[in-house]
């Protein structure tokens, strides 16, 4: 049993060494083919496996291969990250375009539908909101009751500057659609949807479904 184990290890070791020494043997044989005189002077023969030279050449070859594979992997990883970022950006812009289209349709429907009396507890704002205002209001409403968003977070979602988003947030806050809360994110105030804002969004959504 022990002899079989030693035989197996010996055979396995020889196989590993043969695989390891293969690049050195090939490169030395190639060198002999293109420069036979120089190879003869250096004592290099085709198919040489003995001596330190094939071992050193093979070791350098495997190291060069690992370095090359490492470089290729880094390039592929960077490309995969770039492609992934481009796909996420394209998907988000498509989603944003869909939201803006929905907002525009809601505004069109609102202008076509006859005016109705609204409950006494809610008066629609006299100011008209543009597409950006509605996109901001829609994004905050999707957070759910009591949850907040800030200008930098909305800017990342809408691919705009935080200063532009902050102007829309100020406008919505002045018209009681949003309410600022204690605390800040990156120096910008946090906002949450008010009851009036939630009612306003619900009215537009009902109008859209009726259409």
When computed from its CA atoms, the radius of gyration of the chain, rounded to whole angstroms, is 35
**Helix or strand holding residue 189 (H, E):** strand 188-193
Query: What's the pLDDT score for residue 208?
Result: 61
Query: What's the pLDDT score for residue 172?
Result: 85
Alpha helices in the chain (DSSP H): 2-34, 36-42, 52-112, 131-142, 151-158, 162-174, 195-210
Query: What's the pLDDT score for residue 122?
Result: 47
Query: What's the pLDDT score for residue 73?
Result: 92
Residues 136-142: what's their mean pLDDT? 81
In the chain, domain spans:
2-80, 113-210
Q: How far is CA 6 from the centre of its chain?
A: 52
Residues 80-93: what's their mean pLDDT? 84
Residue 156 has pLDDT above 60, yes or no: yes
Query: What's the pLDDT score for residue 68?
Result: 92
Are 172 and 197 within 8 A, CB to CB? yes
Q: What 3 state SS string does 122-151 have?
A: CCCCCCCCCHHHHHHHHHHHHCCCCCCEEH
Closest CA to 148 of 123, 177, 181: 181
Greater confidence, 168 or 107?
A: 168
Options 3.20.20.150, 1.10.240.10, 3.40.50.620, 1.10.10.10; CATH of 113-210: 1.10.10.10
Residue 71 has pLDDT above 90, yes or no: yes
Residues 90-118: what's their mean pLDDT? 74
CA distance 191 to 172: 10
For 54-63, the pLDDT digits (tens) are: 778 888 888 9
Tell if the pTM clears 0.85, that is, is over it.
no
pLDDT-derived band at 119 (thresholds 50, 70, 90) equals: very low
Q: At what angle do helices 52-112 and 131-142 cross, to 10 degrees?
A: 110
For 170-192, the pLDDT digits (tens) are: 888 888 888 888 777 777 888 88
């Amino acid at each position: 049993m022990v002899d079989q184990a030693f035989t197996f290890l010996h055979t396995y070791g020889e196989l590993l060494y043969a695989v390891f020494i293969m690049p050195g043997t090939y490169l030395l044989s190639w060198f002999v083919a293109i420069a036979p005189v120089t190879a003869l002077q250096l004592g290099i023969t085709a198919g040489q496996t003995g001596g330190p030279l094939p071992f050193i050449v093979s070791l350098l070859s495997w190291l060069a291969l690992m370095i090359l594979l490492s470089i290729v992997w880094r390039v592929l990883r960077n490309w995969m990250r770039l492609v992934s970022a481009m796909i996420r950006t394209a998907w988000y812009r498509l989603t944003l375009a869909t939201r803006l289209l929905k907002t525009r349709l809601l505004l069109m429907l609102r202008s076509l539908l006859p005016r109705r009396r609204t409950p006494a507890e809610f008066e629609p704002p006299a100011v008209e909101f543009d597409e950006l205002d509605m996109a901001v209001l829609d994004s905050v409403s999707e957070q759910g009751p009591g949850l907040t968003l800030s200008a930098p977070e909305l800017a990342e979602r809408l691919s705009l500057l935080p200063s532009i988003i902050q102007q829309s947030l100020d406008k919505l806050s002045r018209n009681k659609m949003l309410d600022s809360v204690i605390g800040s994110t990156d120096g910008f105030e946090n906002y949450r949807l008010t009851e009036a804002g939630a009612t306003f969004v619900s009215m537009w959504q009902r109008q859209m479904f009726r259409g």
